[in-house]
């Protein structure tokens, strides 16, 4: 998501192959867990490029096609950490910015029948979490009302359902079953 020059070409290739883009799921993320003063400028820029700027440029290109066909869905994958989290400041800021981007798109392009929403998928096994310790994963399970980690298939089902709805836009859906009092 940080190769912005390739995004326009990628979107054109997808449209040439499939004719249109009905749904965009913006699901790229990078986190680096450390205190705010320990980030250097390049680390900050990399996280913002992957977690926000790439999403913005992809939306910008995809929206052109969605406006032409007068419909579409954009679903941004953010995080409960968008509300803030210790040792997660840059990640939190980037994910909070996605909410603002999504709500702005909803307001600007609703007249073109384009829905833009955000989901918080909760903790999932992924490349981003593969280095987490077993103890950390157990803590996540214990903090979860359902006493389990979220299932990627359940998140995918929710995304598919949300993409089928024509009357929901500008919303944030929390699929994270942890109760976090911030």
94's enclosing H/E stretch is helix 89-109
Predicted confidence band at 182 (pLDDT cuts at 50, 70, 90)?
very low
Token pair in block for residue 118: 């955000």
43-97 pLDDT per residue, tens: 999 999 999 999 999 999 999 999 999 999 999 999 888 888 777 899 999 999 9
Domain residue ranges in the chain: 4-119+154-174
Write down the pTM of the prediction. 0.89
121-160 pLDDT per residue, tens: 988 877 778 888 889 889 888 888 888 888 889 999 999 9
Lateral strand order in the sheet of 23-26: 23-26, 72-77, 114-120, 172-174
Of 91, 109, 123, 161, the catalytic one is 91
CATH of domain 4-119+154-174: 3.40.50.720
**44 carries an active-site annotation:** no
* 100 closest CA partner among 66, 43, 62, 51: 51
Residues 6+ apart with CB under 8 A from 18: none
């Amino acid at each position: 998501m940080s190769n912005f020059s390739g995004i326009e070409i990628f979107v054109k290739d997808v449209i040439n192959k499939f004719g249109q883009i009905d749904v965009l799921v913006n699901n790229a993320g990078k986190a680096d867990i450390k205190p705010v003063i320990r980030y250097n400028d390049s680390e900050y820029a990399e996280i913002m490029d992957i977690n926000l700027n790439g999403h913005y440029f992809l939306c910008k290109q995809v929206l052109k096609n969605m406006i032409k066909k007068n419909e579409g869905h954009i679903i941004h994958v953010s995080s409960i950490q968008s509300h803030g989290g210790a040792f997660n400041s840059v990640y939190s800021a980037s994910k909070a910015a996605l909410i603002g981007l999504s709500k702005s798109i909803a307001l600007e392009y609703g007249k073109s029948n384009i829905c833009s929403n955000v989901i918080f998928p909760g903790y999932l096994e992924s490349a981003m979490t593969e280095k987490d310790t077993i103890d950390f994963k157990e803590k996540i399970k214990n903090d979860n009302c359902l006493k389990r980690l979220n299932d990627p298939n359940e998140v995918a089902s929710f995304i598919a359902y949300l993409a089928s709805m024509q009357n929901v836009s500008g919303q944030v859906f929390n699929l994270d079953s942890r109760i976090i009092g911030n």
